[in-house]
Chain A
Amino acid sequence: MSSALEVRDLKASIGDLEILTGLDLVVPFGEVHAIMGPNGSGKSTLSHVLMGNPVYEASGSATIGGVEIMDMTVDERARAGLFEAFQYPTEVPGVTLDDLTEEMAISTPSDDGFEQRTVAASERLGMERFRERAVNVNLSGGEKKRSEMYLLGVANPKVAILDEIDSGLDIDAVREVADMVESLRGPGLGIVVITHYSRILRYMSADRIHVMVGGRVVRSGGPEIAEELEADGYTAYQVAAAG
């Protein structure tokens, strides 16, 4: 069976600046992987490039459930089963979450489960009072993350990439987000958590941790890597990469 996400030799640049330098990553269905790395290592670029953000020039391969997505437009990738929970989700004034989920359902006519998932995700995340409000407008950091997790629940993707999902949150909110990630875990979904700090990994279990430095994955392993990084930081990796 194919993996949820399989990335091979992914390269990306903006102008002359090469950010991803040949990245490989495999996330099987049902697993939660964490990508950790210092600032500037290309973690967020990875999520944007997978989503198809047009500011990057990209090459290489990425498949969702075995289907190549690199030649798809942003919306085609989403409909193929990729979901990015953004670090800074864009405000869409005048458009409510309900407006958005309605359009999501219309955009994917082959999937008739939207209404049911909207109700379920809304209950699970306590989104009732947010659904009539404009998307991401005047929300706190924690509320924005919650809103993204809600849309993730509605979209029902095969791969979810959660970009810096713990940034800007206080400790209670980090714990809440970790719980939400845990509750998403399921056989039809591969989850990638991108994070700078190991803090969130105390409250959730990652099956594998990948260390990213200089635009590629330099080490992969079990949860013990998070503890090492907490103690020693990224310096050793950065020195090695620079060497």
Chain B
Amino acid sequence: MTDTPTLGSTDAVWMASRRSAAVERLDDLSMPSEREEIWRYLDLDFDPAFRTAPLTAGSAGSTDAVLEMWHGNTVSVVDGFVVTEGVPTIAEASDEIALVNDDHMFATAFTAYAPGAALLTGDHLGKPLLVDVQNTSDATTFPGVHIAVPRGTEATVIVRLRSTTDAPATVVPTVTADVSDNARLTLTIIQDWNYNTRSLGRAVIELGRDATLVLAEIGLGAKIGRLHLDVNFVGNGSTAKIYGAYFGEDDQTLDYRYFMNHIGMHTRSDMFLKGAVEDEALSVFTGMIRIEETGQKTEAFQTNRNLILSSGASAQSVPNLEILANDVMCGHGSTVGPLDEDQRYYLMSRGLTPESADRLQVRGFFEEVVQQIPDEAIAAWIRERINGKYVAAQEEGRV
């Protein structure tokens, strides 16, 4: 561990001025309105308590199943502070790194109060990397991760976001990545917050020429689990496969806002998200394929499938297209519905009880996504977590 870092103490000149401007601006900003399209499904009636952002990291939580099974490198981020030795932050980088340019309150607060995103470069990406992001208390925190994949290289990163206590907290996690020409990033983001945590997540990934992104996001829980993702296909020939799996329980809101911005030519995106909701949970998928005039020969697809497991649960699925080029191929599909009767009947005809037939169907539903996770052990763990949620819902009579 390094000497205990404190907020702003290692800021580079550019960062110090950005930070103080943001602190000032924050005074004039208020909670965004749910009347704006971008926030419409979120219950923002809470105190974000930005000024409770800690000045130093809390004490890291104990190790857990995921860390124990992990054989690659690990970087720890506790309450927003990078606590692993030898990992710098973007706040101390000599050149400005700023992929997020939102001007709303949460983004501004991130600039003001984030100690600095972990800066992961070729030095750290030689072998698969797990970033263990912990929130330890009821403070509002701003953890960040920035991944810079050098030209022509490959990187595998798993970002695991978790609470180590049951304390209610607000978190503004931000993951950014710059995938250089001919580079490949396999990124997994696991949101595994306690059910008192509101997570207003942001991700921006920029792809260079012929760069490849494979992203899998797994939503295991939060009171509010928002992830607003932009993938910018800047370089010609860049491609991305985006997978998502989420399971909403209780009165959770899991809100995905995925924007594919095709700027270069011959780019390709494929979004494939699957979710289930039970009890009174709400899931939201707002997908956008935006193809600029320059994005000729783009191919872009979005698919979102939702299982509604309880009568009080609901899913919103809103795919959008905005196409300014004239030589492109796009497609989208979304479904919202209960478990498939034919599958249940077929499995029961093989002797399975309706309960085990449904369990198998739910497991199969998520499998297409879970098998994209680059680590077998972590994929198995996720499989078990999702199945466990469904079995609990069955046993407690909610589905």
Contact = CB atoms under 8 A, between A and B. Distances in A.
Interface of A: 51, 53-54, 73-75, 77-79, 83-84, 86, 89-95, 99-100, 103-104, 106-108, 134, 151, 155
B360 A103 contact: yes
A134 B350 contact: no
Contacts of B346: 86, 89-90, 92
B348 A78 contact: yes
B370 to A, nearest CB: 9
Contact of B363 (A73, A75, A94): A94
Contact of A93 (B349, B350, B357, B365): B365
Contacts of A104: 350-352
A75 B360 contact: no
Interface in B341-380: 342-343, 345-354, 356-357, 360-361, 363-368
Contacts of A134: 364
B303 to A, nearest CB: 13
A243 B368 CA distance: 56
B211 to A, nearest CB: 29
Interface of B, secondary structure class, is helix
Contact of A75 (B342, B352, B365): B352
B366 A75 contact: no
Interface of B: 342-343, 345-354, 356-357, 360-361, 363-368
Given A79-B351, A94-B366, A74 B345 contact: yes
B350 to A, nearest CB: 5
B367 A107 contact: no
A73 B345 CA distance: 10
A94 B339 CA distance: 14
Contacts of A91: 343
Contact of B354 (A75, A84, A108): A75
B361 A84 contact: no
A99 B348 contact: no
A96 to B, nearest CB: 9
Contacts of B342: 90
Q: Which of B350, B353, B357, B367 has the most CB of A within 10 A?
A: B350
A89 B352 CA distance: 16
Nearest to A75: B348
A240 to B, nearest CB: 34
B343 A92 contact: yes
The 4 A-B pairs at the shortest CB distance, nearest first, are namely A94-B364, A94-B367, A95-B364, A90-B346
A86 B348 CA distance: 13
Q: Which of B343, B351, B365, B366 has the most CB of A within 10 A?
A: B351
Nearest to A90: B346
B70 to A, nearest CB: 25
A79 B348 CA distance: 10
A78 B350 contact: yes
Contacts of B349: 51, 74-75, 77-78, 83-84, 86
B364 A92 contact: yes
Contact of A53 (B345, B350, B361): B345
B308 to A, nearest CB: 18
